[in-house]
Structure 1
Amino acid sequence: MMARREPEPLPADKDRPYLGGPEPAVEFGRLFDAYARPLHRYLARRVGTENAHDLVSETFLVALNQRHSYDPRRGAVRSWLYGIATNLLRRQVRQEVRGLQAAARSAGHGPGDEASHETRVADRLDAAAMAARLAGAVAALSDGDRDVLLLTSWAGLDSTEVADALDIPVGTVRSRLHRVRKWLRANAPSYREEGGRA
Protein backbone atom coordinates (compact mmCIF):
# COMPACT_ATOMS: atom_id res chain seq x y z
CA MET A 1 0.00 0.00 0.00
CA MET A 2 1.42 3.37 -0.99
CA ALA A 3 1.79 6.04 1.65
CA ARG A 4 -0.32 9.12 1.06
CA ARG A 5 1.89 11.93 -0.13
CA GLU A 6 1.29 15.29 1.51
CA PRO A 7 1.07 18.27 -0.84
CA GLU A 8 4.10 20.51 -0.96
CA PRO A 9 3.72 23.44 1.41
CA LEU A 10 3.04 26.70 -0.39
CA PRO A 11 4.87 29.85 0.57
CA ALA A 12 3.23 31.49 3.58
CA ASP A 13 0.74 34.04 2.34
CA LYS A 14 -1.56 35.92 4.67
CA ASP A 15 -4.61 35.32 2.44
CA ARG A 16 -3.79 31.74 1.46
CA PRO A 17 -1.68 30.17 4.21
CA TYR A 18 -0.65 26.54 4.30
CA LEU A 19 -2.57 24.99 7.22
CA GLY A 20 -1.56 21.36 6.85
CA GLY A 21 1.61 21.47 8.92
CA PRO A 22 2.08 19.46 12.11
CA GLU A 23 2.10 22.57 14.36
CA PRO A 24 -0.93 24.71 13.43
CA ALA A 25 -1.09 26.77 16.65
CA VAL A 26 0.89 29.76 15.39
CA GLU A 27 -0.98 30.02 12.09
CA PHE A 28 -4.38 29.58 13.74
CA GLY A 29 -3.48 32.20 16.32
CA ARG A 30 -2.75 34.60 13.46
CA LEU A 31 -5.99 33.64 11.69
CA PHE A 32 -7.97 34.18 14.87
CA ASP A 33 -6.38 37.60 15.41
CA ALA A 34 -7.11 38.61 11.82
CA TYR A 35 -10.60 37.20 11.30
CA ALA A 36 -12.38 36.57 14.63
CA ARG A 37 -13.56 40.15 15.15
CA PRO A 38 -15.05 40.73 11.64
CA LEU A 39 -16.51 37.22 11.68
CA HIS A 40 -18.09 37.94 15.07
CA ARG A 41 -19.60 41.23 13.80
CA TYR A 42 -21.15 39.41 10.85
CA LEU A 43 -22.48 36.55 12.97
CA ALA A 44 -23.80 38.88 15.69
CA ARG A 45 -25.90 40.73 13.13
CA ARG A 46 -27.47 37.44 12.10
CA VAL A 47 -27.90 35.61 15.40
CA GLY A 48 -27.08 38.00 18.24
CA THR A 49 -23.94 38.58 20.26
CA GLU A 50 -24.10 35.53 22.54
CA ASN A 51 -24.72 33.09 19.71
CA ALA A 52 -21.98 34.80 17.70
CA HIS A 53 -19.42 34.12 20.45
CA ASP A 54 -20.26 30.44 20.30
CA LEU A 55 -20.30 30.34 16.50
CA VAL A 56 -16.91 32.06 16.18
CA SER A 57 -15.41 29.52 18.58
CA GLU A 58 -17.07 26.66 16.76
CA THR A 59 -15.94 28.04 13.37
CA PHE A 60 -12.30 28.03 14.43
CA LEU A 61 -12.62 24.61 16.05
CA VAL A 62 -14.09 23.16 12.84
CA ALA A 63 -11.39 24.94 10.81
CA LEU A 64 -8.66 23.50 13.02
CA ASN A 65 -10.13 20.00 12.77
CA GLN A 66 -10.58 20.30 9.00
CA ARG A 67 -7.36 22.20 8.26
CA HIS A 68 -6.11 19.46 5.94
CA SER A 69 -9.17 20.00 3.71
CA TYR A 70 -8.28 23.66 3.11
CA ASP A 71 -6.56 24.13 -0.25
CA PRO A 72 -5.03 27.60 -0.64
CA ARG A 73 -5.08 27.16 -4.42
CA ARG A 74 -8.91 27.07 -4.37
CA GLY A 75 -9.53 30.27 -2.43
CA ALA A 76 -8.58 32.66 0.31
CA VAL A 77 -8.73 31.52 3.93
CA ARG A 78 -11.24 34.31 4.71
CA SER A 79 -13.76 32.76 2.32
CA TRP A 80 -13.15 29.31 3.79
CA LEU A 81 -13.81 30.59 7.32
CA TYR A 82 -16.99 32.41 6.28
CA GLY A 83 -18.12 29.24 4.50
CA ILE A 84 -17.67 27.22 7.69
CA ALA A 85 -19.53 29.89 9.69
CA THR A 86 -22.37 29.97 7.15
CA ASN A 87 -22.77 26.20 7.33
CA LEU A 88 -22.93 26.44 11.13
CA LEU A 89 -25.49 29.25 10.83
CA ARG A 90 -27.80 27.08 8.79
CA ARG A 91 -28.49 25.07 11.92
CA GLN A 92 -29.96 28.22 13.42
CA VAL A 93 -32.03 29.33 10.41
CA ARG A 94 -35.38 28.81 12.12
CA GLN A 95 -34.36 31.04 15.04
CA GLU A 96 -32.97 33.66 12.66
CA VAL A 97 -36.16 33.79 10.59
CA ARG A 98 -38.33 34.03 13.73
CA GLY A 99 -36.13 36.88 15.02
CA LEU A 100 -36.35 38.78 11.73
CA GLN A 101 -40.11 38.36 11.66
CA ALA A 102 -40.37 39.62 15.25
CA ALA A 103 -38.17 42.62 14.42
CA ALA A 104 -40.40 43.45 11.47
CA ARG A 105 -43.51 43.26 13.67
CA SER A 106 -41.94 45.37 16.45
CA ALA A 107 -40.75 48.04 14.00
CA GLY A 108 -44.38 48.97 13.34
CA HIS A 109 -43.59 50.83 10.15
CA GLY A 110 -46.76 50.07 8.23
CA PRO A 111 -48.55 52.28 5.73
CA GLY A 112 -51.02 53.52 8.38
CA ASP A 113 -48.37 54.87 10.77
CA GLU A 114 -48.59 58.58 11.44
CA ALA A 115 -45.03 59.61 12.26
CA SER A 116 -43.71 63.14 12.30
CA HIS A 117 -41.34 64.35 9.61
CA GLU A 118 -38.50 64.47 12.18
CA THR A 119 -39.15 60.86 13.17
CA ARG A 120 -39.16 59.73 9.54
CA VAL A 121 -35.86 61.53 8.87
CA ALA A 122 -34.29 60.08 12.04
CA ASP A 123 -35.44 56.60 11.06
CA ARG A 124 -33.85 56.93 7.64
CA LEU A 125 -30.55 57.83 9.26
CA ASP A 126 -30.74 55.05 11.81
CA ALA A 127 -29.28 51.83 10.42
CA ALA A 128 -31.02 49.76 13.08
CA ALA A 129 -34.39 51.19 12.11
CA MET A 130 -33.70 50.41 8.46
CA ALA A 131 -32.68 46.87 9.33
CA ALA A 132 -35.91 46.42 11.28
CA ARG A 133 -37.96 47.67 8.34
CA LEU A 134 -36.15 45.28 6.01
CA ALA A 135 -36.21 42.37 8.44
CA GLY A 136 -39.51 40.95 7.20
CA ALA A 137 -38.36 41.03 3.59
CA VAL A 138 -35.01 39.45 4.45
CA ALA A 139 -36.79 36.75 6.48
CA ALA A 140 -38.88 35.89 3.41
CA LEU A 141 -35.79 35.09 1.31
CA SER A 142 -34.65 31.53 0.73
CA ASP A 143 -31.65 30.37 2.76
CA GLY A 144 -29.32 30.61 -0.24
CA ASP A 145 -30.51 34.07 -1.25
CA ARG A 146 -30.29 35.33 2.35
CA ASP A 147 -26.74 33.96 2.71
CA VAL A 148 -25.60 35.68 -0.52
CA LEU A 149 -27.20 39.00 0.46
CA LEU A 150 -25.87 39.05 4.03
CA LEU A 151 -22.38 37.80 3.20
CA THR A 152 -22.18 40.62 0.65
CA SER A 153 -23.78 43.43 2.64
CA TRP A 154 -22.94 42.58 6.25
CA ALA A 155 -19.67 40.68 5.95
CA GLY A 156 -18.39 42.76 3.03
CA LEU A 157 -17.33 39.79 0.92
CA ASP A 158 -17.13 40.27 -2.83
CA SER A 159 -18.84 37.90 -5.28
CA THR A 160 -15.79 35.67 -5.63
CA GLU A 161 -15.38 35.36 -1.87
CA VAL A 162 -19.09 34.57 -1.42
CA ALA A 163 -18.80 31.92 -4.14
CA ASP A 164 -15.82 30.37 -2.34
CA ALA A 165 -17.59 30.56 1.04
CA LEU A 166 -20.76 28.87 -0.21
CA ASP A 167 -19.00 26.57 -2.70
CA ILE A 168 -21.13 27.78 -5.61
CA PRO A 169 -20.16 29.36 -8.94
CA VAL A 170 -19.51 33.11 -8.92
CA GLY A 171 -22.14 33.50 -11.66
CA THR A 172 -24.72 32.00 -9.30
CA VAL A 173 -23.75 34.53 -6.62
CA ARG A 174 -24.14 37.44 -9.03
CA SER A 175 -27.43 36.08 -10.35
CA ARG A 176 -28.85 35.58 -6.84
CA LEU A 177 -27.69 39.00 -5.71
CA HIS A 178 -29.26 40.66 -8.75
CA ARG A 179 -32.52 38.75 -8.26
CA VAL A 180 -32.64 39.54 -4.51
CA ARG A 181 -31.98 43.24 -5.02
CA LYS A 182 -34.64 43.40 -7.73
CA TRP A 183 -37.12 41.60 -5.47
CA LEU A 184 -36.31 43.88 -2.52
CA ARG A 185 -36.83 47.00 -4.67
CA ALA A 186 -40.27 45.70 -5.64
CA ASN A 187 -41.34 44.35 -2.24
CA ALA A 188 -39.58 46.33 0.49
CA PRO A 189 -40.44 50.06 0.60
CA SER A 190 -37.49 50.80 2.93
CA TYR A 191 -35.09 49.31 0.39
CA ARG A 192 -36.47 51.59 -2.36
CA GLU A 193 -36.27 54.67 -0.08
CA GLU A 194 -32.62 54.04 0.72
CA GLY A 195 -31.65 53.65 -2.93
CA GLY A 196 -31.39 49.87 -2.93
CA ARG A 197 -28.23 49.56 -0.86
CA ALA A 198 -28.07 46.26 0.97
Structure 2
Amino acid sequence: MENKQTVSEPGRSARFTQVYTREYPRVHAFARRRTGDPGVAEDITAEVFRIAWEHEVRGGETTPGWLFVTARNVLGNHYRSHARLTELHGRIGAELGRAPASAETSAVLEALDRLPDRHREVLLLSYWDGLAAAEIGGLLDCGTSAVWVRLHRARKAFREIYTSSRESV
Protein backbone atom coordinates (compact mmCIF):
# COMPACT_ATOMS: atom_id res chain seq x y z
CA MET A 1 0.00 0.00 0.00
CA GLU A 2 1.26 3.43 -0.92
CA ASN A 3 2.10 5.86 1.89
CA LYS A 4 -0.31 8.83 1.73
CA GLN A 5 1.14 12.27 2.41
CA THR A 6 -0.10 13.98 5.57
CA VAL A 7 -1.70 17.42 5.75
CA SER A 8 1.27 18.81 7.63
CA GLU A 9 3.78 17.87 4.95
CA PRO A 10 6.02 20.94 4.54
CA GLY A 11 6.29 20.56 0.75
CA ARG A 12 2.54 20.57 0.17
CA SER A 13 2.01 23.49 2.53
CA ALA A 14 4.79 25.52 0.91
CA ARG A 15 3.49 24.69 -2.58
CA PHE A 16 -0.04 25.73 -1.63
CA THR A 17 1.24 28.94 -0.02
CA GLN A 18 3.04 29.84 -3.25
CA VAL A 19 -0.09 29.20 -5.33
CA TYR A 20 -2.20 31.17 -2.85
CA THR A 21 0.19 34.13 -2.81
CA ARG A 22 0.51 34.20 -6.60
CA GLU A 23 -3.11 33.53 -7.60
CA TYR A 24 -5.17 35.11 -4.81
CA PRO A 25 -5.26 38.60 -6.41
CA ARG A 26 -6.38 37.18 -9.77
CA VAL A 27 -9.08 34.94 -8.29
CA HIS A 28 -10.31 37.79 -6.08
CA ALA A 29 -10.43 40.18 -9.05
CA PHE A 30 -12.30 37.52 -11.07
CA ALA A 31 -14.91 37.23 -8.30
CA ARG A 32 -15.13 40.98 -7.68
CA ARG A 33 -15.76 41.84 -11.32
CA ARG A 34 -18.57 39.33 -11.44
CA THR A 35 -20.22 40.27 -8.15
CA GLY A 36 -19.47 43.99 -7.91
CA ASP A 37 -19.19 43.60 -4.14
CA PRO A 38 -15.78 43.42 -2.43
CA GLY A 39 -17.18 41.58 0.58
CA VAL A 40 -18.91 38.93 -1.50
CA ALA A 41 -15.82 38.58 -3.67
CA GLU A 42 -13.74 38.03 -0.53
CA ASP A 43 -16.13 35.31 0.65
CA ILE A 44 -16.10 33.61 -2.74
CA THR A 45 -12.31 33.76 -2.96
CA ALA A 46 -11.98 32.32 0.55
CA GLU A 47 -14.29 29.47 -0.44
CA VAL A 48 -12.26 28.80 -3.59
CA PHE A 49 -9.04 28.52 -1.60
CA ARG A 50 -10.72 26.41 1.08
CA ILE A 51 -11.75 23.98 -1.63
CA ALA A 52 -8.26 24.21 -3.14
CA TRP A 53 -6.67 23.28 0.18
CA GLU A 54 -8.95 20.24 0.48
CA HIS A 55 -7.98 19.33 -3.09
CA GLU A 56 -4.30 19.57 -2.15
CA VAL A 57 -4.81 17.45 0.97
CA ARG A 58 -6.36 14.72 -1.17
CA GLY A 59 -3.24 14.78 -3.34
CA GLY A 60 -4.53 16.94 -6.19
CA GLU A 61 -2.55 19.66 -7.90
CA THR A 62 -3.91 23.19 -7.66
CA THR A 63 -3.19 24.97 -10.95
CA PRO A 64 -4.42 28.43 -11.99
CA GLY A 65 -6.87 26.81 -14.41
CA TRP A 66 -8.24 24.58 -11.67
CA LEU A 67 -8.69 27.63 -9.42
CA PHE A 68 -10.64 29.54 -12.08
CA VAL A 69 -12.89 26.57 -12.83
CA THR A 70 -13.55 26.27 -9.10
CA ALA A 71 -14.18 30.02 -8.85
CA ARG A 72 -16.65 29.81 -11.73
CA ASN A 73 -18.48 26.98 -9.96
CA VAL A 74 -18.56 28.83 -6.63
CA LEU A 75 -19.83 31.94 -8.44
CA GLY A 76 -22.53 29.82 -10.09
CA ASN A 77 -23.67 28.72 -6.65
CA HIS A 78 -23.62 32.35 -5.52
CA TYR A 79 -25.68 33.48 -8.53
CA ARG A 80 -28.28 30.79 -7.94
CA SER A 81 -28.55 31.76 -4.27
CA HIS A 82 -28.72 35.45 -5.19
CA ALA A 83 -31.42 34.78 -7.81
CA ARG A 84 -33.52 32.89 -5.25
CA LEU A 85 -33.10 35.71 -2.75
CA THR A 86 -33.96 38.37 -5.35
CA GLU A 87 -37.06 36.42 -6.34
CA LEU A 88 -38.07 36.16 -2.69
CA HIS A 89 -37.55 39.91 -2.18
CA GLY A 90 -39.63 40.59 -5.30
CA ARG A 91 -42.47 38.44 -4.05
CA ILE A 92 -42.36 40.08 -0.63
CA GLY A 93 -42.25 43.53 -2.25
CA ALA A 94 -45.21 42.64 -4.47
CA GLU A 95 -47.19 41.46 -1.46
CA LEU A 96 -46.40 44.72 0.30
CA GLY A 97 -47.26 46.78 -2.80
CA ARG A 98 -43.71 47.96 -3.53
CA ALA A 99 -42.02 47.77 -6.94
CA PRO A 100 -38.51 46.33 -7.02
CA ALA A 101 -35.80 48.92 -7.56
CA SER A 102 -34.00 48.96 -10.89
CA ALA A 103 -30.56 50.45 -11.54
CA GLU A 104 -29.47 52.16 -14.73
CA THR A 105 -26.82 50.32 -16.69
CA SER A 106 -24.41 51.56 -19.30
CA ALA A 107 -24.71 50.72 -22.99
CA VAL A 108 -21.73 48.37 -22.71
CA LEU A 109 -23.23 46.41 -19.84
CA GLU A 110 -26.56 46.25 -21.64
CA ALA A 111 -24.84 44.88 -24.73
CA LEU A 112 -22.96 42.34 -22.61
CA ASP A 113 -26.23 41.29 -20.98
CA ARG A 114 -27.81 40.71 -24.37
CA LEU A 115 -24.96 38.48 -25.55
CA PRO A 116 -25.32 34.71 -25.41
CA ASP A 117 -23.50 33.24 -22.39
CA ARG A 118 -20.78 31.65 -24.51
CA HIS A 119 -19.82 35.04 -26.00
CA ARG A 120 -20.12 36.99 -22.75
CA GLU A 121 -17.95 34.50 -20.87
CA VAL A 122 -15.04 34.52 -23.30
CA LEU A 123 -15.07 38.33 -23.49
CA LEU A 124 -15.10 38.70 -19.70
CA LEU A 125 -12.33 36.16 -19.26
CA SER A 126 -10.16 37.90 -21.83
CA TYR A 127 -10.81 41.59 -21.22
CA TRP A 128 -11.96 41.86 -17.62
CA ASP A 129 -9.94 39.05 -16.10
CA GLY A 130 -6.90 39.46 -18.34
CA LEU A 131 -6.51 35.74 -18.90
CA ALA A 132 -4.31 34.53 -21.74
CA ALA A 133 -5.80 32.38 -24.49
CA ALA A 134 -4.16 29.25 -23.04
CA GLU A 135 -5.65 29.98 -19.61
CA ILE A 136 -9.08 30.60 -21.13
CA GLY A 137 -8.73 27.36 -23.06
CA GLY A 138 -8.00 25.49 -19.84
CA LEU A 139 -11.00 27.05 -18.18
CA LEU A 140 -13.35 26.40 -21.10
CA ASP A 141 -11.82 23.01 -21.92
CA CYS A 142 -10.79 23.89 -25.45
CA GLY A 143 -7.61 24.67 -27.38
CA THR A 144 -5.96 28.05 -27.78
CA SER A 145 -6.99 28.32 -31.43
CA ALA A 146 -10.60 27.65 -30.44
CA VAL A 147 -10.36 30.48 -27.90
CA TRP A 148 -9.22 32.89 -30.62
CA VAL A 149 -12.14 31.82 -32.82
CA ARG A 150 -14.57 32.26 -29.91
CA LEU A 151 -13.12 35.69 -29.15
CA HIS A 152 -13.49 36.75 -32.78
CA ARG A 153 -17.13 35.62 -32.85
CA ALA A 154 -17.87 37.20 -29.47
CA ARG A 155 -16.37 40.54 -30.52
CA LYS A 156 -18.43 40.51 -33.71
CA ALA A 157 -21.64 39.70 -31.81
CA PHE A 158 -20.90 42.38 -29.23
CA ARG A 159 -20.20 44.98 -31.94
CA GLU A 160 -23.51 44.19 -33.68
CA ILE A 161 -25.56 44.43 -30.49
CA TYR A 162 -23.77 47.52 -29.26
CA THR A 163 -24.07 49.46 -32.55
CA SER A 164 -27.70 48.49 -33.07
CA SER A 165 -28.62 49.62 -29.55
CA ARG A 166 -26.76 52.91 -30.02
CA GLU A 167 -28.48 53.56 -33.38
CA SER A 168 -31.95 53.03 -31.90
CA VAL A 169 -31.32 55.70 -29.21
TM-score by length of 1: 0.59
Match of 1:160 in 2: 134
Aligned counterparts of 1:158 and 1:168: Cα–Cα separation in 2: 13
Match of 1:29 in 2: 17
The 8 Å contact of residues 84 and 165 in structure 1, kept in 2 or not, is answered as: no
Q: What amino acid maps onto 2:60 in structure 1?
A: S
The 8 Å contact of residues 134 and 190 in structure 1, kept in 2 or not, is answered as: no
1:84-116 deviations in Å (ceiling 9; x for gaps)? 2122222234659x9xxxxx9514xxxxxxxxx
CA pair 191-66 structure 1, distance change in 2 beyond 3 A = farther
Over aligned residues, Cα RMSD in angstroms? 3.2
The answer to whether the aligner puts 1:106 opposite 2:104 as a matched pair is yes
Aligned counterparts of 1:168 and 1:146: Cα–Cα separation in 2: 16
Q: CA deviation at 1:179?
A: 1.2
Aligned counterparts of 1:51 and 1:38: Cα–Cα separation in 2: 15
The counterpart of 2:52, out of the listed 63, 74, 78, is 63
**What count of residue pairs does the alignment treat as equivalent?**
142
Aligned counterparts of 2:8 and 2:113: Cα–Cα separation in 1: 41
Q: What amino acid maps onto 2:77 in structure 1?
A: R
The secondary structure found in structure 2 opposite 1:39 is helix
Aligned counterparts of 1:52 and 1:191: Cα–Cα separation in 2: 31
Q: What amino acid maps onto 2:42 in structure 1?
A: H
Match of 1:38 in 2: 26
Match of 1:140 in 2: 114
Structure 1 unmatched ranges of 5 or more: 7-19, 72-76, 99-103, 108-131, 193-198
More helix by share: 2
The answer to whether the aligner puts 1:83 opposite 2:81 as a matched pair is no
The secondary structure found in structure 2 opposite 1:106 is coil
TM-score by length of 2: 0.68
Match of 1:116 in 2: none
